[in-house]
Amino acid sequence: MGKNPAWTWYIVWYFFVGGIAAGAYMLAAIADLFGRDDDRPIAKFGYAIAFPLALLSAILLTLDLGMPIRTLNMFRLFKLSSPMSVGSWALLGFGLASFLSLSLLLRDRPGALRIRRLVAVPGGLLGFFIASYTGVLLGATNRPLWAGNNWIGPLFLVSACSTGVAGLALLLARETFPRLRRFHLIAIGAEGLLLIVFLASLGSQAALFLSGSLAAFFWGGVVVAGLLLPVALSIAGRTRPLEAIAAILVLVGGFALRYLVISGGQT
């Protein structure tokens, strides 16, 4: 990978979709490892989200590279010094863990939970890596907005958790999980705080988002739609329609965040 790559829409969607997959898997793994019996639907739908989206992430990465053979070349060697090489192998491992977890859950044989818990440990760690690595990948370039910025990775990590919970909330439309709601509010709050820290780390370059050409999309898509409205809807009531709307808004905000960070670095 060059030091100043051209990031396409495929990469924007790859970051977004991969974040949802990682966030959903991490939550499913936590439910499997530490949850009660009534938390099993969280594990079920978390794995159901993670595997197909991990597969979609691989397809998006292949489309961005242009030819399938270039994707296969990523797996000829493991280069610790190459963020793309490390990320490709991590995505492969995460996809395999997601597939195994979902397969074990669907078969539901005696002893499957014990094996699923064993898979959930490395799978959850790989999900953690995938969620944050995309931000670290941006920091490895020479583009002024990204270069050496240590806050993009944590920001993308908490955003992945938030969008992963949002995906679960949409699928769990008929059931209520108070702990899931509390976790989501915590994730949104953490994302808001890290967004402030990220903007502060940019110095004068933050004007691009706050008052420049990307300001309308930033305030409308990330701040209002992705953060403020979901919190307000959660406070206003706990009806399923409101929770579904809040989840959709969080997903919109998660996509807007990645689009803005990537676009801002190329402006």
The predicted model gives 169-186 an average pLDDT of 76
Quote the pLDDT of residue 143: 75
Quote the pLDDT of residue 257: 95
Quote the pLDDT of residue 259: 92
Residue ranges covered by each domain of the chain: 9-266
150: pLDDT confidence band, cut at 50, 70 and 90? confident
Query: Average pLDDT over the chain, rounded to whole?
Result: 85
The predicted model gives 27-54 an average pLDDT of 89
The predicted model gives 203-228 an average pLDDT of 93
1: pLDDT confidence band, cut at 50, 70 and 90? very low
48-64: pLDDT as tens digits: 999 999 999 888 888 87
Quote the pLDDT of residue 76: 63
64-97: pLDDT as tens digits: 777 666 666 665 666 666 666 677 788 889 999 9
Over pLDDT 90: what percentage of the chain? Answer: 46
CATH number, domain 9-266:
1.20.1630.10
Quote the pLDDT of residue 172: 78
Lowest mean pLDDT across 73-82, 94-103, 160-169: 73-82
Quote the pLDDT of residue 149: 81
3-state SS, the chain, equals: CCCCCCCCHHHHHHHHHHHHHHHHHHHHHHHHHHCCHHHHHHHHHHHHHHHHHHHHHHHHHHHHHCCHHHHHHCCCCCCCCCHHHHHHHHHHHHHHHHHHHHHHHHHCCCCHHHHHHHHHHHHHHHHHHHHHHHHHHHHCCCCCCCCCCCCHHHHHHHHHHHHHHHHHHHHCCCCCCHHHHHHHHHHHHHHHHHHHHHHHHHHHHHHHHHCCCCHHHHHHHHHHHHHHHHHHHHHHCCCHHHHHHHHHHHHHHHHHHHHHHHHHHHC
What pTM did the predictor assign? 0.89
